Every structure is written in C-alpha cells, then in structure tokens.
Structure 1
Amino acid sequence: MTAHILLVEDEVKLARFIELELDSEGYQVTVAHDGMSGLSLARESEPDLAILDWMLPGLTGVEFCRRLRATGSKVPVILLTARDEVGDRVAGLDAGADDYVVKPFSIEELLARIRAHLRRTQELDEDVLQFEDLTLNRRTREVYRGQRAIDLTAKEFDLLEYLLSHPRQVYTRDQILENVWGYDFMGDSNIIEVYIRYLRLKLEERSEKRLIHTVRGVGYALREQ
C-alpha cells in the first residue's frame, strides 16, 4: 500500500521540490504551508508520516508536535530545521518529534530517514491492533482507550484481541469458544457473556461509547455504534 506523507513547509519552492521527489518515489503527498492548516490535515487524513518545518507561520513545528501528540496520534514526525543546537534538538524530540533533518540537507538523506521510519512503523503495526480509540499491543499486552491504560486479565486480553483481529466482523459464540477458550473447552458456554460484560465495564469505565456489540441470535462484533 502506498504510504501517505503530510508535508508542512512554508517555503513554497522547497515544498514543491520535496513533493516532487516524494511523488517520484511513489508516495502519496499532501502539502500545507502553515501550521494550523497542517494540523487540521493531520487530524483529518491520518498520514503515515509527517514532515514539518520548524519555523512555520501560525504554529511552529514544535507546537504542532505537542498538539498532535495530545490527540494520541503516533504518526512518525520528522522536523526540518536550520537549528543545530543541542537544546533545540532536545526541545523538538521532547515535543514528540521522532527525528530531525538539519537544513540544508540532501534529499537522499531525507528519503532514507522516511524509509527507516515507515519500515519501523510497519514492523510495529504487526504487533498493534487498533479500532477507533482502542489500541491493543500484542507484544507488550498493553491496552489503551485513548490515553487511558486498561488493566485486563489474560483471558479478557485474549478475547479482546480476537474481536480486534477483524473489526466489524460478527463472531458466533462457537467461534469465540473455539478460538479463545479452545476447541476442547468443557465449561459453561455462558462464560462468553460473563467476559463480554467484564470487558464492557473496563472499556466504558469513563462513559466511553460502546465498541463491543451483541448481534442478537448470532454473537458479538467490535464495531461503531
């Protein structure tokens, strides 16, 4: 799948040059020339990676990063900056940037940084399942609803992971029993209802909208209301 890159750069000629280079590499590119427009695009289009100039009109690249991270976005961010002082680099990284490239830079270096971050993201994606504001990490066994960490038992985690593996798909009780509890499970089949209730209580603890829905006469599905 073609990666979508958001480029926010107020120098129009430089932005156009980078856009053409990215386009020739096969990336889908969206361009903004000021911080506020770029932030709106980042929230609406959910790019795979963002490239930001440090000194943007309306909203600096550093403030852009802070606001973007405050929404829970994990999109990799590369800052383009003429600032090469250690304090400036630390400020950018502390604000949520993943990397920085100092101007003037070679386009080959920027492309290499982009490939590295996209590759790292793809590797992480295999471990991370996400739907709406719900995130589950298979490797660390951590679950989040937005920024809120959710403590699950081992079986609650396994059940949620199964439902998250194919959002919107309806799973029958037999499918859930076989894949979560095992084909040789000899206990009470009502165990599914019990654990669905446990999950709902934890996922909706702060009155968040319901994600696990009962499909009457069939089973359960993870989907929007």
Structure 2
Amino acid sequence: MSYCVYLVEDDKNLNLVLTSYLQKEGWQVVSFLTGNEAKQAIENPPDLWILDIMLPDIDGYHLLQEIKAVSPQVPIIFISARDADIDRVVGLELGSDDYLAKPFLPRELVIRSRNLLERIYSPNTQTRTISPYIINEASRMVKLNEEVIDLTSKEFDLLLYFVKNQGLAISREQILTNIWGTDYFGSDRVVDDLVRRLRKKMPQLCLETIYGYGYRLVKS
C-alpha cells in the first residue's frame, strides 16, 4: 500500500537515511529539516507524521499541537534523543501515537510506521473525499453521486498521488517517477496526456497547471 509520510528531522544525514528506508517501502516521503518548513504543509496532511521533538526553531510539542488542531485523526510518531519518561508521557498526552528514542535502527522506525499505518488505514476506512468525489483506495473506485467513474489504473494512480499531495506543487518529473517508475525513459508528455484524460473524466477536480513545472491539486 502506498502512503504519504511527512518526516521532520533536523539532522541532515539522519533525515536522508530515514527517507531512504521509508521510500523503500513504496511510500511517498516529504522530508523537512525545520519546524517552520513543516508548518507550511500542515494544511495538506499526509497519512503519517514522523516528528522529532528537538528542532532548531520550533518545539516539537508545539508543532504536534498545531498538527492535531488541523488534522486530529492523522497519526504521529515522535522521535527524540531524550529518552526521559516525561517526554514519552507528554507526547502521548498531546496526541502522538508512538514514541521512539534515539539511537534506533531505521528498520525499527519502518516497522512501527507500517504497523501504525495498517492499523489506522484498514480497508474499511480507506475512503477519501475530494468534493464532490468519493475515492476508495482499497477498491480503487471513484464515485460521483453514487455513480462509478471508470478510471484506468494509471489514471487512478495519478489521482491518488495528487490527493495525497494536495496543495503541493508536483513536477512532471516527480509524476513520471511515482507513476511510471524510475526506469521509464520516455517523454514527459505522457504526464500531460494522463492529466488531460483525468480532467476529462473528473471535470470538477480542482487541478491547477503550473506552467513550465507541473501541477497542483487544490481544495475545491
């Protein structure tokens, strides 16, 4: 299952390592080095936040509260170099779903993340609403007023990719990599063609063109 994960970790080397491990699971990972960078993405929630407590600019607890104020149902894993019981307790009280003390094996974070994602997003709850459309990720089905919209596999993959990155500017290169894979060597015109087909089938989808760059799905 493909998920979108936001990773907030100020240590550049650790950030790169963790991002690599998470991406190997087939997840879309957006990483941030500061709390202020992460704040800009709060309005477009991922499927999971992985959040360091000790950030250079914002206290991790404060950032957690801001995240929960916008998207209280999105799970959060706290990571910290401080293994004090008080940190664990405060984090859980504020709404974090798990806590991992540094140093830890990157694989342990992946396992904890996978278990949490699978628990939260079971097939019965994998439904997203992008008004006026209802998207069921488990059945790969899109409905408009109870009528099923017939999408190809690539069209659905593209739709889901936009939905999980709603509000973010996505380049054609990113779309190529995530929809066709890293071994695709054709023209990026296939992206524009796929977007055109998706727009034709879902005309009420608020999909903006960013000329010379790519696309952005905005809230209707």
| Fold conserved between structures, TM > 0.5 | yes
Give, in whole Å, the separation in 1 of the partners of 2:114 and 2:126. 20
Counterpart of 2:19 in structure 1 is 19
**Contact between 1:83 and 1:89, CA under 8 Å: does it hold in 2?**
no
Alignment of 1:1-225 (within 5 A): 1-44=1-44, 46-123=45-122, 126-127=124-125, 131=129, 168-169=144-145
Measured at CA, do residues 119 and 170 of structure 1 come closer, stay the same or move farther in structure 2, by a change above 3 Å? closer
Query: Secondary structure, in 3 states, of the residue corresponding to 2:41?
Result: helix
Give the TM-score normalised by the residue count of structure 1: 0.56
- CA distance, structure 2, for counterparts of residue 63 and residue 7 of structure 1: 16
- Alignment partner of 1:41: what SS? coil
Matched residue SS, 1:126: helix
Give me the whole-angstrom Cα distance separating, in 2, the residues matched to 1:129 and 1:21: 27
Q: Read off the aligned partner of 1:77 and give its amino acid letter.
A: I
The answer to whether the Cα contact below 8 Å between 2:21 and 2:107 also exists between their aligned partners in 1 is no
Cα 1:170–1:2 change in 2 (3 A) is closer
**Change over 3 Å in CA distance of 1:166–1:22 after alignment to 2:** closer
Shift of 1:90: 0.7
Change (3 A) 1:170 1:3: closer
Scaled by the length of structure 2, the TM-score of the pair is: 0.57
Unaligned runs of 5+ in 2: 132-140, 148-218
Which structure carries more relative contact order (alpha carbon 8 Å, separation 6+)? 2
Aligned CA distance change for structure 1 residues 127 and 13 (closer, same or farther; 3 Å): closer
Q: CA 1:122–1:59 in 2, change beyond 3 Å: closer, same or farther?
A: same
Q: What root-mean-square deviation, in Å, do the aligned CA atoms of Structure 1 and Structure 2 show?
A: 2.5
Deviation of 1:96 after TM superposition, in Å, equals: 1.4
1:22 is paired with a residue of what secondary structure? helix
SS at match of 1:51: strand
Cα 1:28–1:132, aligned 2, differ >3 Å: closer, same or farther?
A: closer
Query: 1:116 is aligned with what amino acid?
Result: N
CA positional deviation for 1:126: 1.4
CA distance in structure 2 between the aligned counterparts of 1:129 and 1:22, rounded to whole angstroms: 23
Number of aligned pairs? 140
Task: Give the superposition deviation at 1:82.
Answer: 1.4
The CA deviation string for residues 125-177 of structure 1, in whole angstroms up to 9 with x for no partner, is 615866479xxxxxxxxxxxxxxxxxxxxxxxxxxxxxxx9764168xxxxxx
Q: Provide runs of 4+ in structure 1 moved above 2 Å.
A: 127-133, 165-168
Do 1:63 and 1:95's aligned partners in 2 also have CA atoms closer than 8 Å?
no
Taking every aligned residue pair, what percent have the same amino acid on both sides? 34
Cα deviation code 1:170-210 (max 9, x no counterpart): 68xxxxxxxxxxxxxxxxxxxxxxxxxxxxxxxxxxxxxxx
Q: 1:166 to 1:80 in 2, by over 3 A?
A: same
